[in-house]
Amino acid sequence: MGNIIAIVNPKGGSGKTTTALNLAAGLTRYSDISSSCLIIDMDPHGCATSSLLGKMDGEVPSRTLFDVLRGAMTPHDGVTSTVYDENIDLLPSCPALESISRTHKVDRLKKVTDALSTSYGWIIIDTPPNMGFLTLNALVTADYVIVPTQCTGLAVSTLQQVADTIDKVKERQNVWLQNLGVLITMKDGRTDLPTDLLKQIKKIFPRKLFKTLITNNIKIEEAPSNFNSIYSYDSGCLGASLYRDWVKGELQRKHKALEKKKNEKMEELNISQV
Ligand SMILES: Nc1ncnc2c1ncn2[C@@H]1O[C@H](COP(=O)(O)OP(=O)(O)O)[C@@H](O)[C@H]1O
Ligand SMILES: [Mg+2]
């Protein structure tokens, strides 16, 4: 079963961390497959880590992904529980993670997820705002990518780089990597999306745009600094219903359809190898 999802976009402020947190919390509540979820925070800034551990004091957590990647701790020992939900665990980030990106190795995270994947139904990887080695490590081990993006000219101009990188990783290191979809975030609720930009997104990522649109919603912004997912923070707000409907509906439907396709392909390959 392919349930490792990397949340990727080199543009900062595109809604990666917000989507990673609310996707993970949504899957623990609404997944048909499994309610256990691990978040791996690959961003040295550690915004997901701070929110999930309920601490904004900048103190480095006692166990981190950095310790695991440098071999000072086993993957299981690096995992910590979170204040969000008993079904969400975390491999925390820390600033030193940045040094891993200078080692130019792309398969270090894969060794970690290989050791942990049977313990969790879902693994969600939050990534930094660049396409460097930390993000590449996430793409090399992921089954799926989700690309959150705002629908503005500047945001759309970074998407071709994401598409090209996914293609390269598929060619070189991870043939099974699939794009689960592009999620528009922070849409202005009062205006329609610019059709020219939508056209550009669809050209870069054909048939990949989620129909769900996440609009600007103050509760979505407030929830992480209150150490809650949007569903716990205000389950009745618009932001909660947008993320909830997406996870319950479109996201899981797409995941199931792509899994089915992948399994058929794998069976075919096995048959041709016999
Ligand atoms: N739908 C939304 N409505 C309002 N604010 C949002 C929404 N999505 C994200 N934000 C806010 O926008 C900022 C950037 O989002 P974030 O998820 O941290 O982006 P990234 O991880 O890509 O840098 C954060 O302050 C976040 O709270
Ligand atoms: Mg982030």
What is the reported pTM? 0.97
Across the chain, the runs of DSSP E, i.e. the strands, are 4-7, 37-41, 80-81, 88-91, 122-126, 144-149, 178-187, 209-215
Ligand 1 centre distance from Cα of residue 61 (Å): 23
At residue 205's C-alpha, the angle toward residues 26 and 107, to 5°, is 70
Q: How many CB atoms lie within 10 A of CB 154?
A: 8
Residue of 159, 190, 221 with the most ligand 1 atoms within 8 Å of its CB, for mutation: 221
* The pLDDT value given to residue 1: 61
Q: Whose CA is nearest to atom 20 of ligand 1?
A: 13
For residue 187, report the distance from its CA to the centre of ligand 1, in Å.
Answer: 11
* Three-state DSSP class for residue 38: strand
Residue 2 has a pLDDT of: 65
Asked if 128 contacts 43 with a C-beta cutoff of 8 angstroms, the reply is yes
At 269 the pLDDT is: 86
Residues in the chain: 274
What token pair was written down for 92? Answer: 């925390």
Alpha-carbon gap, residue 37 to 179, rounded angstroms: 20
Residue spans of the domains in the chain: they are 4-273
Q: Would you tell me the crossing angle of helices 218-225 and 238-245 to the nearest 10 degrees? A: 90
Which two structure tokens, joined as six digits, stand for 57?
A: 């004091």
Measure the CA–CA gap between 127 and 4, rounded to whole angstroms.
13
CATH annotation of 4-273 = 3.40.50.300
d(CA 175, CA 150): 28
Alpha carbons 260 and 266: distance in angstroms, whole number:
10
Compute the distance between CA of residue 265 and CA of residue 133 in angstroms, rounded to an integer. Answer: 29
Q: Chain centroid to CA 33: how far?
A: 18
* pLDDT tens for each residue of 91-108: 999 999 999 888 889 999
The rounded average pLDDT for each run of 10 residues, N- to C-terminus, in the chain (274 residues) is 90 98 98 94 97 94 96 97 96 95 92 96 98 97 98 94 98 96 95 93 97 97 97 98 98 96 88 50
- The ligand placed nearest to the CA atom of residue 15 is 1
Q: What residues does ligand 1 touch, defined as CB less than 6 Å away? A: 12-18, 47, 129, 185-186, 214, 216-217, 220-221
Token pair for residue 223? 């929830």
Among protein residues, the one with the nearest Cα to ligand 1's atom 3 is 216
Determine the pLDDT at residue 274: 41
Our mutation pick for probing the ligand 1 site, out of 11, 14, 18, 22, counting the most ligand atoms within 8 A of Cβ, is 18
CA 19 to ligand 1: nearest atom: 17
* pLDDT digit string, tens, across residues 236-264: 999 999 999 999 999 999 999 999 999 99
Helix then strand count (H, E) for the chain reads 13, 8
